Amino acid sequence: MPLLHAQENDRLVGTIGDLELREGEVLASLGRLEGVEREALAQDPGTLKKLVQSMLVQRVILQQAMEQKWDEEPSIQLLLKNTREAAITDSYLKSVCKPPAAYPGDAELREAYAKSREALTVPRSFRLAQIFIGEQKGSDKKVEDVRRRLKAGPEGFGQIARELSEEKESASRDGEIGWLNEKQIQPEILARLPKLSVNVVSEPVKLKDGWHILKVLDVREAFTPVFDQVRLQLAQRLRAEKTRANIQAYMAEMLHKHPVAVNEVVLSKLLLKNP
């Protein structure tokens, strides 16, 4: 039976076994997000799908825990109490310290963009495919077999990757790794890439883990996104920074209004009692 009963007109979003997730539950979870966070989620349906999948998996784990009466364990009872109090405190603190809905305004966003242009620059990027042969007995012969087949027909790179590459995830995609920027690529490999034209295959590159034979599928030169492309990203960052600053100010005000007294003698002995 589902852990939660469906309400009228509460459409089914997903299932896992006999457990269901309804529209209202997803909306309740999204309701805990700020406006800019919801907007970012709306622009990426894949992320929303992952959220739903995560909620469903958590539901299975919860069912298993409840069947084992895990919530009745004394240590879990204390954890639940502490977690409940922390959740209430944290959500209240974020609520009272949340910036106004209109923050940041256009002027503040443009100022942040001007200051962040260098940090926002996307380095030169390469879309790569590889054939990987791990370091092991007989690997040299396998590398030579790959080289021989590539020289005979370099257009067969994808087929050879599927058959011989030992990095299975990329091998299933004809060796394609995807887009990597210069900062994500090992120096020994990066040094080779500018010398390769698109669709040209490299000589084997020996690293600690084995041999990498590379193919550049595409290249993107370094660029700085225009303001509209990063407006949402900047808004999220500025709101998070403002919230943190407001929380620090609020906590300082609370300490000023409600002075704290700490028994240093007892405090110094706490760790000795709980090694």
- Position 252: which residue type? A
129 and 207 assigned to the same domain: yes
Average pLDDT, the chain: 87
Please tell me the total count of domains within the chain: 3
Distances (CA, A) of 204 to 108, 130, 132, 201, 247: 50, 10, 9, 9, 54
215 three-class SS: strand
108 and 52 assigned to the same domain: no
What pLDDT, on the 0 to 100 scale, is given for residue 34?
62
pLDDT band at 2 (very low <50, low <70, confident <90, very high): very low
The burial of 215, by beta-carbon neighbours within 10 Å (0-12 exposed, 13-18 middle, 19 or more buried), is given as buried
77 and 213 assigned to the same domain: no
214 and 137 assigned to the same domain: yes
- CA distance linking residue 39 with residue 143, whole number of Å: 49
- Tokens found for residue 190: 């990066």
Domain that holds residue 189: 122-220
pLDDT surpassing 60 at residue 7: no
176 three-class SS: strand
4 and 47 assigned to the same domain: yes
What pLDDT, on the 0 to 100 scale, is given for residue 99?
95
Q: What average pLDDT does the segment 76-89 reach?
A: 94
Tell me which of 21 and 247 has the higher pLDDT. Answer: 247
pLDDT surpassing 70 at residue 38: no
126 and 183 assigned to the same domain: yes
What's 33's DSSP letter?
A: S
Please tell me the pTM assigned to this model.
Answer: 0.61
pLDDT tens digits for range 105-143:
999 999 999 999 989 998 999 999 999 999 888 788 899
151 and 112 assigned to the same domain: no
116 three-class SS: helix
